[in-house]
Amino acid sequence: MANFERVLRNVLNGLPEQSPETRERVYMKAIHATDRQLRAMQPLPSEILIRRQMANLADAIFAIETESGYDLAKVLAERATCKARSMSVIRSASALVGKLMPLERASDFLSNLEDLHPRWTAQYGENAARGKIYLECVAFAFLYQRSRLVSSVSWFSRSD
């Protein structure tokens, strides 16, 4: 797999500004891109391999930040933990939606939930955010089933 430290150093050295906010954005993009790429692989790697690669990325970020003197490593570790919890909730929500409707119909909805979960967690707390996510899933699936029912009824009631 990739040498994360070398890649991150090259990106950071190419930046015109080395502020903590800029560095954090680079790291978060790397975390999201790595997770997305690993989960898009066919065949899907084992969860152990995915965790190992994400840990390697975290180690690279920690090494760079330790040398630079910024205290971003702690912030990023906390965010990575929140992201892992969020992904767990979203995977559970996807499974729930998948039982109620075709997942290809719900992909945009589920990606919106990925964006909402951290905000809702900060606003309402972890358990309430999880409950809101599941409630939204059930409501979305209900509306999907209702629209299917309405369209099938209107199709049968046509008088051609």
Q: DSSP 3-state assignment of 14? A: coil
97 inside domain: yes
CA distance linking residue 146 with residue 21, whole number of Å: 45
- DSSP letter at 44 equals P
* Of 91, 80, 141, residue with least CA distance to 113: 91
101 Rama class: left (phi>0) / alpha (psi -120 to 50) / beta? beta
- Domains identified in the chain, total number: 2
CB neighbour list of residue 75: distance below 8 Å, 6 or more residues apart: 24
More confident residue, 95 or 154: 95
Q: What is the pLDDT of residues 33-88, one digit of tens each?
A: 888 898 889 998 888 888 888 888 888 887 887 777 666 556 656 666 666 666 77
26 and 59 in a single domain? The answer is yes
* pTM for the model: 0.46
54 inside domain: yes
77 inside domain: no
Asked if omega into 118 is within 30° of 0 (cis), the reply is no
